[in-house]
Chains A and B, each alone.
Chain A
Amino acid sequence: MPEGSIKDGIGASVRRKEDKRFLTGSGRYTADITRPGQLHVHFIRSVHAHANIKAIRKDAAAAADGVVAIFTGEDVAADGIGGPICGWVVTNRDGSPTNEPPHPILANGAVRYVGDHVVAVIAETLEQAMNAAELVEIDYEVLAPVVDLANAGSGPQIHENVPGNMYFDFELGDEAAAAAALDSAATVVELEVRNNRLIPNAMEPRAALAEYDPIDDSYTLFTTSQNPHLTRLVIGAFMLSIPESKLRVVAPDVGGGFGSKIYVYPEEAVCTWASKKLQRPVKWTADRSESFLADAHGRDHINKVRMALDKDNRITGLRVDTVANIGSYLSAFSVVTPTILHAPLLSGCYQIPAIYTNVKGMATTTAPVDAYRGAGRPEATYLLERVMDTAARQVGMDPAEFRRMNFIPKDAFPYQTPVALQYDIGDYEPPLDKALEMIDYKGFEARRAEAASRGRYRGIGLSSYIEACGIAPSAVAGALGARVGLYESATVRVDPTGTVNVFTGTHSHGQGHDTTFAQIVADKLGVDIGSVEIIHGDSDRIPFGMGSYGSRSLAVGGAAIAKAVDKVIEKSRIIAAHLMEAADADVVFADGKFTVAGTDNEKGFGEIALAAYVPHNYPHDRLEPGLEETAFYDPLNFTYPSGTHIAEVEIDPSTGVVELVDWACCDDFGNLINPMIVEGQVHG
């Protein structure tokens, strides 16, 4: 069957199937869920960046109206509850491992950032819990904070087992080769660039609702997660030490993640733990202030960059020394983000023979920092593109032409960079040319002069980027320190009437999987997308999956779905051949029909589905009944989209206000399943 022949198949800008529930107020987010008898937890958070806890007096609060329980770090320790774990660590330059300090779900003896969880007050209503929290007295011995990243190493030590406040000291590339290039360079370009910290701020604040079922000693946790199975694994195996099978994690509709909902946080573990202790459901919903304080933050790097150019202005070497603020504790992917997801991107779109980078991950008394939108890769692109501009200015070249002459030529692929990655394919000039044309690059000087006549400064900036998307493969990730696999899973279950249920290990929190994934299935099976249901987010329903982050849902999860559909088609072909008394090889599948080649003998996909579940006339010697297939897909490489974006801005010098006046971009994303959704993702 030719792909794209179905109206709503691959390549069509199908309007989203999930829209109706969101547009009518029928979305089901964690905070919308209520369980009978639920209690509410309010967290008392540290108001100090760094302090020892000397005493917690909770008697008055415990006696307050509606209070059911008050838990502190001592209760957590007494029950042997573990903390969030780091999911990916690195080996230091000297061969030693990453320093991993303990991270209790309620502070035990010390607090290490403003917002750190100290006391859980649980009451019949949220208001009662908040009122009772006012009655809890905490004596702190305030310690000096460590908030200056550049000097974090000389500040007071934050964790016993993190000397010099350094969690890790990572390197990648050839230090000697980069030094040689810099020593022999015609031009050395130097740049110090800060990538500021930011707060992810998904529109939906994090929330959790846990319920314990004493009959089969099991838990259900509804939570705002991008990856329910990872949450189940971490809470089950590492925090509560219960069999994974006794914990069901449901991430229903999730109102944006941007990375911040990948990680397992103390709050959801407290709810789960307390639901058994109190034998009642326990609910927590963050307010926006808590989101600011206690969601994992993003970025926060200081980079010192040195780039070597030869006499023809070709790049010969690059050295980047990065200090990354990891914050008070090691969040799940805090180590991999500024290292494995950052350092290998330092070659960008450019042919750079020698690259070396050193990344020091520092502890500070600030909120944990972890992956945010692109996670390490945009940070690498930012510093690289800044130094490309600086270099072009320094040697007096047009920044677009300086980039062009240093692009990896299109006949050099597959291209092995000096920083671990092998780019499979790429052609960087056409997107650059298109973006330059779209913004009328040649006409910029005239626009600048016109703006100057109005008293405004007009500037133009461009960025040519490459991304490493579809985070995987497992073996490579494992060799680089990952403690998880990075495949993705899918089960395709065809019903007797021919409707299709797709159970995916990825999670949609705005990306439109209900539609895009249905398009893949519709295209391959020749069915209407209306008959394809996408099921995600419930660990009791879906196969073990790794969730959505790192631009992996379609490239890895979508591919798993395609593989499972292929298995369904292969099984169906054998059933069809049996029913039509033909050889398997003579049966072709197109437009939803199995046909014996060269005849008009055909069976519709729905007929095959029915035959699989009502197997009266069936190839029992060759096949089991039923039509349901599962695939786990573990790719061999990342995917490498690329492109060029160009922005023009005007500054009003009297007020300093910057206005974005134009933006042009051309991205090479390969085959688009739903161009409308892809464009929407780029806008965002």
Chain B
Amino acid sequence: MTMVNLTLNGKQVSADVPDNTLLVTFIRETMGLTGTHVGCDTSQCGACVVHVDGESLKSCTMLAAAAEGASVTTIEGIAEGDSLHPMQQAFHENHGLQCGFCTPGMVMSAIELVQDNPNPSETEIREGLEGNICRCTGYHNIVKSVQAGAKMMGG
């Protein structure tokens, strides 16, 4: 067992978990935050993307112990109370989601994409989100959402 201490959505959390606990398991099962999804368990689909110290990472491929001392942000941690994060709002306005399963990872990846590149082109968005798979939307409205989100985030 390993004691893992990290900051999760701004709160200090600690738990004693088996050494091989994945970060996504720590988030979903130990901490009960089920907004982060497991779609493929092989780092392909991106449904499990969270931010670790500001960088988007696939939490199904990282041990919880490797996030010791880090600041982890999940989809539950980006809205300000009842006000959605601009990227969440942009997905809503542009119908960038259907079944919602890929959405948390998609939004988390999109936020980091825009933080790194405040005014991304369509090609840059499509390339930047290659690690996130969606089966419902055909991506068209996701691209529109990210473009709108970038504007709303001040790009």
Is B133 at the interface (CB under 8 A from chain A)?
A: yes
Is B102 at the interface (CB under 8 A from chain A)?
A: yes
- Cα–Cα distance between A285 and B136 once the two chains are bound (Å): 21
Which residues on the A side are within 8 Å of B137 (C-beta)?
680, 683-684
A-contacting 9-mer, from B71-79, B111-119, B123-131: B71-79
Known: A25-B75, A680-B141. A204 touches B97 (CB 8 A): no
Is B40 at the interface (CB under 8 A from chain A)?
A: yes
Known: A24-B76, A680-B137. A15 touches B92 (CB 8 A): yes
A22 contacts B103, C-beta separation under 8 Å: yes
Which residue on chain B has the smallest CB distance to residue A205? B39
B-contacting 9-mer, from A110-118, A496-504, A509-517: A509-517
Which residues on the B side are within 8 Å of A23 (C-beta)?
75, 84, 88, 91-92, 97, 100, 103, 107
A288 contacts B40, C-beta separation under 8 Å: yes
Chain B 17-69 interface residues, beta-carbon cutoff 8 Å to A: 18, 28-29, 33-42, 44-45, 47
Which of A31, A127, A205, A684 makes the CB contact (< 8 A) with B98? Answer: A684
B-contacting 9-mer, from A91-99, A144-152, A238-246, A248-256: A248-256
Is A18 at the interface (CB under 8 A from chain B)?
A: yes
- Cα–Cα distance between A164 and B92 once the two chains are bound (Å): 54
Q: A131 to nearest B CB, angstroms? A: 11
A13-26 CB contact bits vs B (8 Å, 1 = yes)?
00110111111111
B84 contacts A24, C-beta separation under 8 Å: yes
Which of A19, A202, A205, A258 makes the CB contact (< 8 A) with B97? Answer: A19
Main SS of the interface on chain A? loop
B88-108 CB contact bits vs A (8 Å, 1 = yes)?
100111010111111110010
A677 contacts B95, C-beta separation under 8 Å: yes
Number of interface residues of B (CB under 8 A): 44
Known: A203-B39, A203-B45. A256 touches B141 (CB 8 A): no
Chain A 284-308 interface residues, beta-carbon cutoff 8 Å to B: 285, 287-288
Which of B33, B95, B100, B138 makes the CB contact (< 8 A) with A255? Answer: B100
- Cα–Cα distance between A562 and B43 once the two chains are bound (Å): 45
Known: A15-B92, A20-B84, A680-B141. A253 touches B100 (CB 8 A): yes
A24 contacts B39, C-beta separation under 8 Å: no
- Cα–Cα distance between A31 and B47 once the two chains are bound (Å): 13
B76 contacts A25, C-beta separation under 8 Å: yes
Which residues on the B side are within 8 Å of A509 (C-beta)?
99
B107 contacts A256, C-beta separation under 8 Å: no
A22 contacts B97, C-beta separation under 8 Å: yes
A683 contacts B102, C-beta separation under 8 Å: no
Known: A25-B104, A203-B135, A255-B37. A680 touches B98 (CB 8 A): yes
Q: A262 to nearest B CB, angstroms? A: 15
Is B4 at the interface (CB under 8 A from chain A)?
A: no
A203 contacts B92, C-beta separation under 8 Å: no
B136 contacts A16, C-beta separation under 8 Å: no
Residue among A21, A26, A680 with max Cβ neighbours from chain B (10 Å)? A680
- Cα–Cα distance between A201 and B44 once the two chains are bound (Å): 13
Q: List 8 A-B contacts (CB under 8 A).
A: A203-B45, A203-B134, A204-B99, A205-B39, A255-B101, A509-B99, A510-B136, A680-B141
Interface set of B (CB-CB < 8 Å, partner A): 18, 28-29, 33-42, 44-45, 47, 74-76, 79, 84, 88, 91-93, 95, 97-104, 107, 133-141
Interface set of A (CB-CB < 8 Å, partner B): 15-16, 18-29, 31-32, 34, 127, 201-205, 253-256, 258, 285, 287-288, 509-512, 676-677, 679-681, 683-684
